[in-house]
Amino acid sequence: MNTLQAQTQLIVRQRIRLMVNQYEVHGARPDGSEGELYAFAQQKRMAFREQVTLYTDDTKREPVLGFKARQMMDLGATYDVVDGGGNPVGSFRKDFAKSLLRTTWHVEQPGFGTATGSERSMAVAIIRRLVEAAWLPYHFDFLVDGRPAFTVEKKWGLRDRYVVSIQDPNIDRRLVTAMAIGLDALQER
């Protein structure tokens, strides 16, 4: 995970499995292809209390990161992000009121401030709600005090694939990784 902080672009890819959501987090090579694997995540589908654990690889022996909801079944739940040792990294939460039309999330990192991310396109946001089109790509732009912090772009394809671009060198990549996976794992809830 040490070289993760140096990354300016990550690729998050969902694996297709029957009863679980699985994700791979890779660094991006200069040509945009997948590079080094940084984490493997697994979340049980239909989990009552939202929790996702990220491991070094798919053997799931060494946890490196995780997030868990503070409350059960709360539309605006806060998710605490911790490292592999259980130490706090930050948190993220959905802004329920703003999310009625355009989904909005807040990502908080101690000493950094709050990055607020919303769907870039109001039209796509509305279409996704009207036709329940989970397959539609979407783009989230996260800003801190009006400055770009990072973006998450869902790409077209049979499997969910996200390109995460990090503009602010001070934001913790572990927190960005957790939010990117959270967008897929929690978006439809």
Summarised one tens digit per residue, pLDDT across range 52-89 is 899 999 999 999 999 999 887 666 789 999 999 999 99
Q: Which helix (H) or strand (E) holds 35?
A: strand 34-44
- pLDDT bracket for residue 125 (50, 70, 90): confident
For residue 156, the 8-state DSSP code is: P
Do 54 and 69 meet the contact criterion of CB atoms below 8 Å apart?
A: no
Closest CA to 105 of 156, 150, 64, 157: 150
CATH number for the domain that contains residue 28: 3.20.90
Q: What is the pLDDT of residue 189?
A: 43
Distance CA 133, CA 115 (A): 26
Q: What is the pLDDT of residue 118?
A: 93
Q: What percentage of residues in the chain have a pLDDT greater than 90?
A: 56
Do 69 and 50 meet the contact criterion of CB atoms below 8 Å apart?
A: yes
Give Cα 103 to chain centroid, integer Å: 13
Closest CA to 177 of 2, 29, 9: 9
> Number of structural domains, the chain?
1
Sign (positive or negative) of CA dihedral 31, 34, 37, 41: positive
3-state secondary structure of 177: helix
- Structural domain boundaries, residue 101: 2-186
Residue 1 has a CB neighbour count (10 Å cut-off) of 15
